[in-house]
Structure 1
Amino acid sequence: MRNLGSLVVFAALVVAAASSGSAFMPGEWYAALNKPSWTPPNWVFPVAWTILYILIAIAGWLAWRAGGWTPAIRAWGAGLVLNALWSYLMFGRHDIALALVDLCALWATVIVFIVTAWPISRSASYLFLPYFAWVTFAGALNFAVWQMN
């Protein structure tokens, strides 16, 4: 499964996780929340996530191809689950605090992936750097929204 065909599997896993974002949309509840002035406009989120999901799939595939079932792949998979869970917690349950806890755990899995993928695929680690930056920003935004509401 380490050939190009496995890229399709990684892409499908990412699409499945991303689908939670479309299943649980921000809606009126989120629009009514107080948000910091540095909140990006709504159109930024789908653009950023589309790019990030592509990078996440490729990074996971590169790490898999280089090493198989390594700690990096386990962190990648755990992060994908936490990524999917965030939309449900924030927009489905309207639980800003629990979404923040989830995001902190996701942030940790991103770091673990970067560190554990480094010895087997530096390219995979590099591809996760924009994800790390975005999750860091998203965590700050989630925290600010939680504090303001």
Structure 2
Amino acid sequence: MKRISSFPPIIFKDSKILILGSVPGIKSLEMQEYYAHPQNKFWTILFEIFNENLKKNYVEKIKFLEKNKIAVWDVIDSCEREGSLDTKIKNESHNDIAELLKAYPKVQTIFCNGQKSFKNLKKMLGEKPNVSIYVLPSTSPAHAITFEKKLSEWSEIKNFV
């Protein structure tokens, strides 16, 4: 089984929130872009929350994150996985989220994109992290709840930027 690795964080000096996924899927790894699968609703939801038209260009998406003080990373640095499902992840090593938070002290809130990132993060940061942590429904097409339900829960982000 092939070992895969996550991307570096997208973070800015004035980022206030950090959105953590688990690890990039096959399409994201191919494209070298966070949330590149066309059926993943991550970008659609974020742009909708901030009442902006969805940008196709990845550089424009990064500028959108910066403007809205949002950072993006994954909890898993590398792992073995067949396909793109979190349930297939094995032998994972983690990114140093605590060190990132020290380096970017304006980040006070973490939103986990799905249960896998949330469970891993809780293990890493322990019971009393110095930031607020929320778990949101995964934006992956594998997480079968309606777009409207995902959008409603993700809209909470707007209260923290």
TM-score, scaled relative to structure 2: 0.30
TM-score, scaled relative to structure 1: 0.32
Rg larger for: 1
Q: Compare the two structures and name the one with the higher strand fraction.
A: 2
